[in-house]
Amino acid sequence: MEIDIGISTLDRTRSADALKKLLADTYALYLKTHGYHWNVEGPHFQQLHALFMEQYVEMWNAVDELAERIRALGKYAPSSYSEMALLSSINEEAGQPDWQAMVTNLAEGHQEVAKSARQVLRVAEEIDDDATADVVTPRITLHEKAAWMLRATAK
Give residue-wise pLDDT tens across range 64-122: 999 999 999 999 999 999 999 999 999 887 789 999 999 999 999 999 999 999 999 99
Residue 121's pLDDT is what? 98
CB 121 within 8 A of CB 21: no
Picking from 76, 73, 65, 72, the residue whose alpha carbon sits closest to that of residue 27 is: 65
> What confidence tens digit (pLDDT) does each residue in 64-77 have?
999 999 999 999 99
- b/e burial code for range 46-64 (CB count within 10 A of at least 16 → b): eebbebbeebbebbeebbe
Residue 93's pLDDT is what? 79
